[in-house]
Amino acid sequence: MMKNEDIIISDEQLDALIQRYFDAETSLEEEALLKRAVAHREEPRYDEIRAVLGFMAAKRRSVAKKRKRGTTVWLQVAAVAAVAALVVTVGINLTHQATETGTCYAMVGGVRIDDESQVLSLMQSNLGDIGDAASETSMSVESQIADIASVINEAE
């Protein structure tokens, strides 16, 4: 039986544990125990298990590094793809009708007019209609207030 600070395990128990390890029946705690136990054994018959445990530890570290590197790369690719998609979507939406300096057209009875002065003239015509209606409203309100005021004055 070998003792060290924290491992007390008989040869028979260790052999049984090694056998269970090769049968893939050991838990992680048992593997950790196995590792600590064989680290302090000098007998040549434990060389094989020491070599296997050392290889497995190195392989686990390598897989963890690859997974982390893979995740980081994936996130970077996803971020670039998202930015590219945003730029393309907004660009397509904007350039669908727009020219370099903006858009200016009118459709009159189904016929397209691109002449800016004609389009602006139509715009002014619309605004004129709005302005006339707004004036009429304003005059109407003033007229109503005047009517109310005259009634009040008469009452006084």
Least distance from other proteins to the Cβ atom of residue 80, Å: 10
- Helices 28-39/11-22 angle, 10° precision: 130
| Cα-Cα end-to-end distance for the chain | 122
Q: What is the DSSP letter of 24?
A: T
Closest to other proteins by CB, 126 vs 153, is 126
Q: What is the DSSP letter of 102?
A: B
Contacts of residue 41, defined as CB under 8 A and 6 or more positions apart, other chains included, come to 2, 14, 50
Closest to other proteins by CB, 1 vs 94, is 94
Which residue shows structure tokens 């016929």?
A: 111
Give CA–CA dist 156/148, Å, rounded.
Answer: 13
Which positions touch other proteins (CB under 8 A)? 83, 86-87, 90-91, 93-94, 97-99, 101-110, 116, 119-120, 122-137, 140
Closest to other proteins by CB, 137 vs 150, is 137
Least distance from other proteins to the Cβ atom of residue 136, Å: 7
Least distance from other proteins to the Cβ atom of residue 73, Å: 19
Closest to other proteins by CB, 63 vs 145, is 145
Least distance from other proteins to the Cβ atom of residue 134, Å: 6
